[in-house]
């Protein structure tokens, strides 16, 4: 586990020392691949049974699940970055110094997210999440370009998230306090031990805890109405980073909520937590669907769609029960494959047309057939239409809702999903079709980087499609072990 944490740090340092050499990209790719190799055995063990280490670190199904997503997206994004950064350098948006900063921070970012997933101590988890904010904010704002909009986005991002997350820390403190009153002697912050004493904790205290944590980590996870930093940050960040942000960062934040959920629920009962989560889920879906409908900027559109999908995940978690949680976790996976794919694609479109405004971009399908096709598939997947992956998880959650008889929730869900479908499809069909008369600055596609870029995107698109019609057993069992680590053993 320590090694897993060390590898990205080392990679970061190397990348930073390389002074923006052209090879830096390949080094970072090698680093992330190495990370993947090193992590495989640990993750495999973690899926079967929880491992704890050094008191502060702990891994079980859930952490392994999120961690493998972090690592996968780390690889994808690192590979994508090679040509992306190359192109940025070519068009002069970035200098050597920027490159070293970019890759250095990139791997630090990965490191912080890994730390979130493996930390057993709630305060440590908080530290890690706060750290992700800081690192990614720097990546957005000062990463390499000093565009005012990027700075504005970063400023809002860091302020809102820091403010929000403060409450999460407060919640953490109160948890510690509540544990004192149970243990008598002195409090604990270790999730594994808190889990044991959870039923004994004071319900009203834990309600307070959950409110603070929900507001805190909810801000970071982009639940409306705490989401306002998200569209700015995601649309202004360089595309590989946007991919990481919406693909996995939001999920790590929500991971924090899930951890607290399994401490809070035993004492307060699932009704309180469930209703709160469902409420936030519905609000997020509603607001985001409206914004998607009238969005004029395709990266912001994708950002709002992230809010919608976080809403769906929160809804699934709130509905509760093994199958709803299964759906939520599956949705996390599906979303964090499809959304990064779309951000990668939009990054290339932006590089080609030099604009993120929908009305400035036309005829992608005819000009860049490969890219256009992937975008088309990705957009449909995000819009939640079969035979793509996201429909499956959405339907699973809906089914769980029907099981519980939550018809108003189901109805609202369907309405919002339809609106979102309309929004996304109308937005992207305006981009994809038609013939563009706007002259474009063209996209250089020579070099091995470009090839790798395309390979990665193709693989992700394939996964999006395959997961829509076939869920392999290892994924299934992984998700179930994740569900177990939230609901406790004995589930399935």
Partner 1 sequence: MKNWIEVFSIVDFVSVGILLTAVALNGMRRLESSVKAYAVNSWLLSALIGIVAFMIGEFHLYAASLVTFISKGVVIPIFLRKIVREMKVTHEVEPYISNALSLTISGLLVAIVYASLKEGIFITGFSRNVLQISLAVILIGLFTMITRRKAITQVIGLLFMENGLFLAGFSLTYGMPMIIELGVLFDMLMGIIILGIFAVQIKRAFASSDLDKLTILKG
Partner 2 sequence: MNSELFLTAGVVFFFLASLVSILRPNLIVYLFSASGSILFAIVGLYLLFAGPQSLDIKLISGSALEFSFGGDALSGLFVIIISILVFAVSLYSIGYTSDMKNKGLMGLLFNLFVLSMYGVVLSKNIITFLILWETMSIVSYFLVTFEGEHKSAKAGLVYAVMTHIGTAFIIALFLLLYSYSRSMELSTIKATASNIPQDVKDIIFIFSIIGFGTKAGVVPIHTWLPRAHPAAPSNISALMSGVMIKTGIYGFLRVSMDILGSGPEWWGITILIIGAVSSVLGVMYALMEHDMKRLLAYHSVENIGIILLGIGAAMLFKTSGLYTLSSIALIAGLYHVLNHAVFKGLLFMGAGAVLHATHVKDMEELGGLLKKMPYTGLFFLIGSISICALPPFNGFVSEWLTYQSLLLGFKNPSITAKLLSPLGGAALALTGALAAACFVKAFGISFLGMPRSSHAEDAHEVSISMISGMAILASLCLILGIFPGTVTGVIAPVSFLITGSYGIPSYQGLIFISESSAGLSPQFLLITMVVMAIATIVFIYTVGGKRKITFAESWDCGIPSLTPRMQYSATAFTKPIRNIFKRIYLPRRELSVSYIVKPFFVKSIRYSGEITPFFERYLYEPVVNIIHRIAGKVRLLQSGSLHLYLGYILVTLILLLVFGS
Near partner 1 in 344-383, by CB under 8 A: none
The SS3 of residue 226 is coil
Q: Which stretch binds partner 2 (CB under 8 A): 87-95, 103-111, 416-424, 448-456?
A: 416-424
The listed partner (partner 2, partner 1, none) that binds 3, CB under 5 to 8 Å by sort, is none
The listed partner (partner 1, partner 2, none) that binds 392, CB under 5 to 8 Å by sort, is partner 2
Name the minimum Å distance from CB 59 to partner 2: 23
Cα–Cα dist 348/227, whole Å: 26
The SS3 of residue 59 is strand
Nearer to partner 1, 116 or 377 (CB): 116
Name which of residues 455 to 474 contact partner 2 (CB under 8 A): 468-473
When asked if residue 148 is in the footprint of partner 1 (CB under 8 A), the reply is yes
Binding track, positions 289-328, relative to partner 2; x by CB under 8 A: -xx-xx----------------------------x--xx-
Name which of residues 161 to 180 contact partner 1 (CB under 8 A): 162-163, 166-167, 169-170, 173-174, 176-177, 180
When asked if residue 167 is in the footprint of partner 2 (CB under 8 A), the reply is yes
- Of 22, 27, 38, 155, the residue at the interface with partner 1 (CB under 8 A) is 155
The listed partner (partner 1, partner 2, none) that binds 386, CB under 5 to 8 Å by sort, is partner 2
Name which of residues 50 to 109 contact partner 1 (CB under 8 A): 56
Q: Which stretch binds partner 2 (CB under 8 A): 70-78, 173-181, 187-195, 430-438?
A: 430-438
* Segments in 94-238 forming alpha helices (H): 96-118, 122-141, 148-183, 191-197, 203-221, 229-236
Cα–Cα dist 375/187, whole Å: 51
When asked if residue 219 is in the footprint of partner 2 (CB under 8 A), the reply is yes
Contacts of 387 (CB under 8 A, 6+ apart): 465, 468, 469
When asked if residue 47 is in the footprint of partner 1 (CB under 8 A), the reply is no
Q: What are phi and psi of 242, to 5 degrees?
A: -55, -40
- Of 78, 153, 243, 249, the residue at the interface with partner 1 (CB under 8 A) is 153
When asked if residue 163 is in the footprint of partner 2 (CB under 8 A), the reply is yes
The listed partner (partner 1, partner 2, none) that binds 153, CB under 5 to 8 Å by sort, is partner 1
Residue with tokens 């998880």: 393
Question: Are the CB atoms for 264 and 312 separated by under 8 Å?
Answer: no
- Of 296, 359, 403, 476, the residue at the interface with partner 1 (CB under 8 A) is 296
Q: What are phi and psi of 426, to 5 degrees?
A: -65, -40
Enter the DSSP assignment of 246: I
Name the minimum Å distance from CB 374 to partner 2: 14
Cα–Cα dist 464/338, whole Å: 6
Q: Which stretch binds partner 1 (CB under 8 A): 3-11, 118-126, 329-337, 478-486?
A: 118-126
Binding track, positions 178-217, relative to partner 1; x by CB under 8 A: --xx----xx-x------------x-xx--x---------
Nearer to partner 2, 305 or 396 (CB): 396
With CA atoms as reference, report the closest residue to 124 among 210, 56, 176: 56
Name which of residues 94 to 123 contact partner 2 (CB under 8 A): none
* Segments in 269-360 forming alpha helices (H): 270-293, 298-319, 321-353
Contacts of 143 (CB under 8 A, 6+ apart): 98, 101, 102, 105, 150, 237, 238, 241
| β-strands 51-53, 57-59 pairing | antiparallel
Nearer to partner 2, 26 or 203 (CB): 203
When asked if residue 3 is in the footprint of partner 2 (CB under 8 A), the reply is no
The listed partner (partner 2, partner 1, none) that binds 180, CB under 5 to 8 Å by sort, is partner 1
Cα–Cα dist 443/425, whole Å: 25
Residue with tokens 């008889």: 405
When asked if residue 266 is in the footprint of partner 2 (CB under 8 A), the reply is no
Nearer to partner 2, 79 or 313 (CB): 313
When asked if residue 396 is in the footprint of partner 2 (CB under 8 A), the reply is yes
Residue with tokens 């189901």: 410
Distances (CA, A) of 3 to 36, 40, 126: 11, 12, 21
| Helix (H) and strand (E) counts in the chain | 20, 2
With CA atoms as reference, report the closest residue to 256 among 196, 299, 215: 215
Pull the structure tokens for residue 12: 């970061």
Nearer to partner 1, 134 or 466 (CB): 134
Cα–Cα dist 49/106, whole Å: 31
- Cα–Cα–Cα angle for 71, 356, 455, rounded to 5 degrees: 40
Enter the DSSP assignment of 53: E
By CB under 8 A, name the binding residues for partner 1.
56, 121, 123-124, 126-127, 130-131, 133-134, 137-138, 141-142, 146-149, 151-156, 158-159, 162-163, 166-167, 169-170, 173-174, 176-177, 180-181, 186-187, 189, 202, 204-205, 208, 231-232, 235-236, 291, 294-296, 300
């Amino acid at each position: 586990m320590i090694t897993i944490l060390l590898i990205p740090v080392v990679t970061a340092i190397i990348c930073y020392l390389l002074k923006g050499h052209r090879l830096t990209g390949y080094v970072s790719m090698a680093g992330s691949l190495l990370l993947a190799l090193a992590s495989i055995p640990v993750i495999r063990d973690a899926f079967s049974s929880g491992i704890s280490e050094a008191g502060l670190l702990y891994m079980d199904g859930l952490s392994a699940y999120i961690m493998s997503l972090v690592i996968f997206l780390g690889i994808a994004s690192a590979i994508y970055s090679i040509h992306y950064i190359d192109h940025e350098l070519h068009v002069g948006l970035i200098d050597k110094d920027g490159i070293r900063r970019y890759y250095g921070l990139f791997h630090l970012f990965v490191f912080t997210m890994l730390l979130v997933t493996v930390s057993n101590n709630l305060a440590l988890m908080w530290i890690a999440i706060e750290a992700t904010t800081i690192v990614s904010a720097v990546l957005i704002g000062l990463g390499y370009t000093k565009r005012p909009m990027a700075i504005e986005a970063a400023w809002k991002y860091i302020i809102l998230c820091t403010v929000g997350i403060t409450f999460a820390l407060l919640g953490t403190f109160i948890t510690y306090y509540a544990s004192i009153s149970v243990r008598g002697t002195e409090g604990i912050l270790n999730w594994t031990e808190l889990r044991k004493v959870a039923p004994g904790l004071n319900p009203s205290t834990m309600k307070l805890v959950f409110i603070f944590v929900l507001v805190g980590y909810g801000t970071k996870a982009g639940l409306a109405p705490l989401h306002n930093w998200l569209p700015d940050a995601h649309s202004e960040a360089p595309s590989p980073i946007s991919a990481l942000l919406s693909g996995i960062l939001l999920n790590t934040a929500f991971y924090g909520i899930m951890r607290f959920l399994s401490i809070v629920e035993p004492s307060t009962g699932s009704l309180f937590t469930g209703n709160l989560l469902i409420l936030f889920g519905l609000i997020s879906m509603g607001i985001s669907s409206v914004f998607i409908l009238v969005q004029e900027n395709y990266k912001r559109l994708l950002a709002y769609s992230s809010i919608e999908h976080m809403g769906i995940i929160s809804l699934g978690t709130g509905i509760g029960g093994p199958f709803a949680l299964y759906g939520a976790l599956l949705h996390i996976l599906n979303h964090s494959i499809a959304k990064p794919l779309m951000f990668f694609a939009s990054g290339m479109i932006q590089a080609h047309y030099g604009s993120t405004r929908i009305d400035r971009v036309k005829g992608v399908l005819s000009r860049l057939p490969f890219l256009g096709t992937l975008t088309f598939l990705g957009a449909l997947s995000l819009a939640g239409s079969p035979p793509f992956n996201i429909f499956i998880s959405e339907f699973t959650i809906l089914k769980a809702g029907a099981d519980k008889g939550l018809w108003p929730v189901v109805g609202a869900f369907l309405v919002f999903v339809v609106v979102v479908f309309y929004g996304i499809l109308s937005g992207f069909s305006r981009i994809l079709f038609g013939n563009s008369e706007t002259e474009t600055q063209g996209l250089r596609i020579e070099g091995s980087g470009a090839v790798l870029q395309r390979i990665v995107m193709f693989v992700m698109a394939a996964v999006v499609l395959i997961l829509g019609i076939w869920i392999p057993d290892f994924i299934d069992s992984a998700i179930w072990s994740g569900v177990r680590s939230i609901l406790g053993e004995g589930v399935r």
